[in-house]
Structure 1
Amino acid sequence: MLTDYHNHLEMGTLSLDYLRQFTDMAKQKGINSFGISEHAYHFYQTADILQNPWVNERRYYDMKDYISLFQEAWTKEIDVKMSIEMDYTPGKHEEMKQFIQAYSFDYVIGSIHWIGDFGIDLAEYKHEWEKRDIYEIYKQYFDQVVTLAQSNLFDIIGHIDLVKIFKYVPENEEFLLEQYERATDALAESKTCVEISTAGIRKPVGELYPDKRLLEKCFAKNIPIVLSSDAHFPEHVGADFDQAITLAKEVGYTSIMTFSKGERQTYPLG
Structure 2
Amino acid sequence: MKFDYHTHHERCGHASGSVRDYIEAALNNGLHIIGISDHTPAFALEEDRPWPGGAMAKSEFPIYVNEVLQLKQDYAGRIEVLLGIEADFLPDSLDVYRSVIHSYPFDYVIGSVHDFAGIGLYNADHWTNLTSQGKLELKNLYYQYIAQSAKCGLYDILGHVDALNRYFPEYSDLRTEAADVTLKTIAASDVVIEINSSDNNWVPNEAFLERALYHGVKVTFGSDAHEPEQTGHDFEKVQSSLRDIGYREWATFRGRKRTMVELHAR
Superposition TM-score, scaled by structure 2 size:
0.85
Pairing of 1:137-152 with structure 2 (within 5 A): 137-152=138-153
Over the matched positions of the two proteins, sequence identity in percent amounts to 26
The answer on 1:158 being equivalent to 2:152 is: no
* Residue aligning to 1:182: 181
For residue 58 of structure 1, report the CA deviation from its aligned partner.
4.9
* Residue aligning to 1:8: 8
> What is the distance in 1 between the residues matched to 2:153 and 2:64?
24
- The alpha-carbon distance between structure 1 residues 36 and 49, as it changes in their structure 2 partners (threshold 3 A), is farther
Moved more, 3-12 or 104-113: 3-12
- The alpha-carbon distance between structure 1 residues 220 and 70, as it changes in their structure 2 partners (threshold 3 A), is same
For residue 167 of structure 1, report the CA deviation from its aligned partner.
4.0
* Residue aligning to 1:259: 253
- The alpha-carbon distance between structure 1 residues 23 and 54, as it changes in their structure 2 partners (threshold 3 A), is closer
- The alpha-carbon distance between structure 1 residues 191 and 55, as it changes in their structure 2 partners (threshold 3 A), is farther
Question: Is contact 2:89-2:149 (8 Å) kept?
Answer: yes
For residue 153 of structure 1, report the CA deviation from its aligned partner.
1.4
Structure 1: unaligned runs, 5 residues or longer:
202-206
* Residue aligning to 1:269: 263
- The alpha-carbon distance between structure 1 residues 51 and 151, as it changes in their structure 2 partners (threshold 3 A), is farther
Structure 2: unaligned runs, 5 residues or longer:
none
In structure 2, which of residues 233, 257, 263 is the aligned counterpart of residue 239 of structure 1?
233
For residue 52 of structure 1, report the CA deviation from its aligned partner.
11
* Residue aligning to 1:83: 84
Question: Is contact 1:33-1:258 (8 Å) kept?
Answer: no
Residues 108-140 of structure 1: CA deviation (Å, up to 9, x unaligned) = 00001102322122xxx4322223332122111
> What is the distance in 1 between the residues matched to 2:158 and 2:142?
13
* Residue aligning to 1:27: 27
Residues 155-202 of structure 1: CA deviation (Å, up to 9, x unaligned) = 000010111122423465532xx122011100011131011111142x
Pairing of 1:32-181 with structure 2 (within 5 A): 32-40=32-40, 43=41, 46-48=43-45, 58-61=55-58, 62-78=60-76, 79-121=80-122, 125-132=123-130, 133-170=134-171, 172-175=173-176, 178-181=177-180
Runs of 4+ in 1 over 6 A off after TM superposition: 49-53
Question: Is contact 1:12-1:18 (8 Å) kept?
Answer: no
Alignment: residue pair count: 254
Question: Is contact 2:11-2:56 (8 Å) kept?
Answer: no
- The alpha-carbon distance between structure 1 residues 162 and 50, as it changes in their structure 2 partners (threshold 3 A), is farther
* Residue aligning to 2:222: 228
> What is the distance in 1 between the residues matched to 2:55 and 2:236?
34
Alpha-carbon RMSD: 2.7
